Amino acid sequence: MELEQHNPHWKEGFLYPFDKQRVLFPRLEKNLTNRQIIALYGLRRTGKTVLMKQLINLLIAKGIARTEILFFSFDEEQPKIKSLISAFEKSGQKPRYIFFDEIQKLENWQNQLKFYYDTTDIKFFVSGSSSLFIRKKVRESLAGRIFDYYLPPLDFKEYLLFRKKEELLSKPKLFPEEVKAEFELYLKRQFIETIGQDEEFIFDYVKSILEQVIYIDIPQVFPIANEGLLLKILKIIASNPGLIIEYESLGKEVGIDRNTLSNYLFYLEEAFLIKKVYHFSRNRLTSEKKLKRFYLNSTSFFSYLSSGTEESKIVENILAIETGAKFFWRTHSKDEVDFILEEEKNIIPLEVKYKESPRERELKPLAKFCREYGVKKGFMITKGAEEIIKVSWGGWEAKIELIPVWKYLIKE
């Protein structure tokens, strides 16, 4: 346990070489001096470790002594927190700020941390690559003591910032063709290290992430009999994002029973590899019981998982991610709306028709949803079409806004 190797910032003059900040950084900065533990969670390679090291840079800039800041990653070894702090104090230092990376790998970490939170004034920052590490047991033992933040892969706005294309965000109407071109690139480049890289690099990069999560991370947390089936399920979802999964039939296809399939889907979701979308209902319990759709949690994954997925389905997948959609809508007569968004008290239906000129009949499901739920406005996401269409029945009226995907993703 060589603490010096984990803490190069102890050396005078050293700063971590990370200048570009994720949009989450200001929110973390605001809580820098609060007592609560700050927890960062999300998929591997989204920048959690970088964020922590940028916070260390900030603390040093604010005059905190370098040797009062401790960083340790549990990725390779998992000593007890007491041992780490004791080893640190033996050097004659008293820690004021402690950063623990990949803490979910340390058994019973929450209770170890609780002791120091309750008995010292140390400010803790922790990160993990599984949402389980802040779930029920952690919330119970650290209730009121922890603020948690999810760090996703880059959204389109952040991608443009990291590409140093800020002018496309501030004046998109002046550069529509360039924004469209950047959007096409972005679909495969949602990880910072893939920006500007070619297809071969992206394939290898995504492959390394997925194999690390599937063959190492998930089995460390869950009882997995066959890791290869996790990859097979991922590839099935990648071949048809938005797939409504019938557990019985898919279980037979991959050679496992319904309950095991349900568990495997849960593991993939907890590891931030897939996203589940529920059938919309005013009754949330009804939504939970009905059919569910599954998407990949990053369209970068398509580079490795599926080379033949339709572009329109990939765009649908990116909208599932970036809108944070929780629901879709489908009737017995098979009228469908891809996503139902909830913003405050407003319900917003959103349909993806990634083509230059959607047909008039393709507006009907949106219009039906608006009429049934008394909604005044819906969106149809297109490749190029842009207009507002009024629909009405017997005195009832709503507006359907057709908007190009790139413009929808960067609008305020």
pLDDT, one tens digit per residue, over 271-297 is 999 999 999 987 655 555 678 999 999
Look at residue 242 and tell me whether its pLDDT is greater than 60: yes
Q: Flag whether 358 is in a domain.
A: yes
Q: Flag whether 323 is in a domain.
A: no
pLDDT digits (tens, 9 = 90+) for 45-64: 999 999 999 999 999 999 99
Same domain, 118 and 202: no
Q: Flag whether 300 is in a domain.
A: yes
Look at residue 93 and tell me whether its pLDDT is greater than 60: yes
Q: Flag whether 25 is in a domain.
A: yes
**CB atoms closer than 10 angstroms to residue 130:** 24
Region 82-96 average pLDDT = 90
Same domain, 297 and 369: no
Look at residue 200 and tell me whether its pLDDT is greater than 70: yes
DSSP string spanning 381-396?
EESS--EEEEEEETTE
Last residue of a domain, one of 96, 120, 150: 150
**What is the share, in percent, of the chain residues with pLDDT greater than 90?**
76
Same domain, 262 and 294: yes
Same domain, 13 and 133: yes
User: What distance in Å separates the CA atoms of residue 123 and residue 220, rounded to the nearest whole number?
Assistant: 28
For residues 294 and 237, is the Cβ–Cβ distance under 8 A? yes
pLDDT recorded at residue 239: 96
Three-state SS at 55: helix
Q: Which domain holds residue 145?
A: 3-150
Same domain, 52 and 18: yes
pLDDT digits (tens, 9 = 90+) for 296-354: 999 999 999 999 999 999 999 999 999 999 999 999 888 999 999 998 888 999 999 99
Same domain, 376 and 272: no
pLDDT digits (tens, 9 = 90+) for 174-190: 999 999 999 999 999 99
Reading the block at residue 122, the tokens are 């140390």
Q: Flag whether 173 is in a domain.
A: no
Same domain, 22 and 58: yes
Query: Nearest Cα to 401, choosing from 384, 383, 377?
Result: 377
Q: Flag whether 21 is in a domain.
A: yes
Domain count for the chain: 3
Lookup result for tokens 């909208």:
319
pLDDT recorded at residue 105: 85
Same domain, 40 and 132: yes
Query: Nearest Cα to 131, choosing from 261, 294, 299, 270?
Result: 270
Q: pLDDT tier at 229 (50, 70, 90 boundaries)?
A: very high
Q: Flag whether 183 is in a domain.
A: no
Same domain, 341 and 298: no
CATH of the domain at 256: 1.10.10
pTM (predicted TM-score)? 0.92
Look at residue 411 and tell me whether its pLDDT is greater than 80: yes
Same domain, 25 and 144: yes
State the chain's mean pLDDT as an integer.
Answer: 92
Q: Flag whether 169 is in a domain.
A: no
pLDDT recorded at residue 39: 92
Q: Let me know the angle formed at the C-alpha of 253 by 251 and 254, rounded to the nearest 5 degrees.
A: 70
For residues 288 and 310, is the Cβ–Cβ distance under 8 A? no
Region 6-28 average pLDDT = 95
pLDDT recorded at residue 119: 94
Region 192-197 average pLDDT = 96
CATH of the domain at 124: 3.40.50.300
